Amino acid sequence: MNILELSATEIASKIAARELSSREVTAFFLERIDTLDSKVVAFTSRNAQALQQADEVDRKIQAGELSGALAGVPLAIKDVLCTPEMPTTCGSQMLKNFTAPYTATAVQKILDAGMVVLGKTNMDEFAMGGSTETSVFGPTHNPWDLNRTAGGSSGGSAAALAAGMAPISIGSDTGGSVRQPAAFCGVCGLKPTYGRVSRFGLVAFASSLDQVGCFAHHSSDLAATLQVIAGFDNRDSTSVNAEVFDYSASLGDSLLPLKVGIIREHLENEALDPDVRAAVAKTQDCLRELGAEIIEVELPHTNYSVPAYYVVAPCEASGNLSRYDGVHYGFRQLGETEDQPLESMIAASRSEGFGAEVKRRIMLGTFALSEGYSDAYYKKALRVRRLIARDYQQAFEKVDVLLGPTTPTPPYELGEKVGDPVQMYLGDLFTVGANLAGLPGLSLPAGMTEAGLPLAVQLQGRSMGEAKLLQVAHQLQRAGLFVPQVACVA
């Protein structure tokens, strides 16, 4: 039996039927990590207790104490979610040796569902980046071409899945950090509605934008994973107190009538690669054959989304990262003498503990919030954010879902944009709007380039509209838009 050919829900079914055990499956993926991760660099740490967790899950399943759509299935978790069993580093020197004293709500829900954590995955430092090249652990390599980026900031989670080192993985999305690496690695990636998944235990980058999301090869696995991690949490003041939809049960529901909006501004953008444009057209044709009505819509302020995002996000990061001062926890740079002034120690700790991109964003945010400039930059960005949200609201008065590209280009070479922050930021052009508006977005594969690089498209939906996005993705997968594949890591 080739475990790589099974979806996560199929693995769980075979574990429940005693055709496989959680220990067998967990050991299989741990062995692949040992074999492949030196080339991919998808993981920052392994869970030393993974096999013991799997044994306990097997015991509970056999005793009838545990069941569920993903019981016994192992997964990988982005190194931005707190876990007491493994370090939570956020890919930074600042937290390289930090172990959290508590478990993030999303992780606890995963453990309660009987899933097994394989390890923590690599990421851009404090989730600031679009290529997983700012990590203190080094860059993650794209399994389809090891010379290319896996995307970011959840590049490790996407690459682990693409290389067959995990059947499911968890990431976080502040401006596209689930959807963009999913596109680059040829897997599915879902960013839920803001507040749908608890942020308790998610180390904050930009609190009004961050959202826990998930990766999978199959739309059915995305649905089952969202079913596990979604829900109200009174420890998160931004958590939405709404009933969790049965995402898996609704996958096979009829889509019709379905109105799909094609975002004119996205397809007319000069930065859009012809191969990506063709992938959107191919998906549009597939939806039309499924009976959908295709309608062109406009998001008039979409070209302002990146500038607005790169004011709002750094401003929030400036405040969130002020806690890392070398005093309470995290990296501390000691001086030559024990009586070093406190201010000097804090300055040295932050200077040595943070990387260049994080320091750039802290400085940008601090400047935009400073006296005399907050009205000109931060408050103006908030007004633009409201306009962007209104554009989406008006679009969804006409259509059920929006279709467009996830990224402007296929995955680019490592080092190609790391020296040009503006070009790196423009990679978020088609994804940041959903974060600014708090809406769900789903990236799904849509073929390959002639050079064998993944292509992808993006679906965006109404607030709490994940079920519709998953239904559309499921029907597209059944229609053959994409076939789940594991990359052959050379």
pLDDT at 338: 63
Summarize the confidence of residues 332-337 as an average pLDDT. Answer: 71
Query: For residue range 362-389, what is the model confidence (pLDDT) as tens digits?
Result: 999 999 999 889 999 999 999 999 999 9
**Residue ranges covered by each domain of the chain:** 3-256+441-478
35: Cβ contacts below 8 Å, ≥ 6 apart = none
Alpha-carbon span 24 to 172, nearest angstrom: 29
Answer yes or no: 379 catalytic: no
Q: pLDDT per residue over 468-487, tens digit each?
A: 999 999 999 999 999 999 99
Task: Return the CATH superfamily for domain 3-256+441-478.
Answer: Amidase signature (AS) domain (3.90.1300.10)
Torsion angles phi and psi, residue 298, rounded to 5: -120, 140
Euclidean distance between CA atoms 245 and 263, whole angstroms: 27
Supply the pLDDT for residue 337: 57
pLDDT number for residue 328 = 83
Confidence grade of residue 343 (pLDDT, cut at 50, 70, 90): confident
Do 212 and 166 meet the contact criterion of CB atoms below 8 Å apart? no
Percentage of the residues of the chain whose pLDDT score is greater than 90: 92
pLDDT at residue 206 in the model: 97
219 flagged as catalytic: no
171: pLDDT confidence band, cut at 50, 70 and 90? Answer: very high
Q: Which of 22, 135, 157, 177 is catalytic?
A: 177
The rounded distance, in Å, linking the Cα atoms of 109 and 387 is 35
Mean pLDDT, to the nearest integer, of 164-188?
98
- Summarised one tens digit per residue, pLDDT across range 266-323 is 999 999 999 999 999 999 999 999 999 999 999 999 999 999 999 999 999 999 999 9
The pLDDT value given to residue 421? 87
pLDDT at 336: 57
Q: DSSP labels for 188-228?
A: EEEEPPTTSB--TTBPPSSTTT-EEEEEESSHHHHHHHHHH
- Is 468 designated active site? no
Q: Which of 153, 154, 248, 349 is catalytic?
A: 153
User: Can you give the pTM of this predicted structure?
Assistant: 0.96
Q: Which of 14, 78, 109, 120 is catalytic?
A: 78
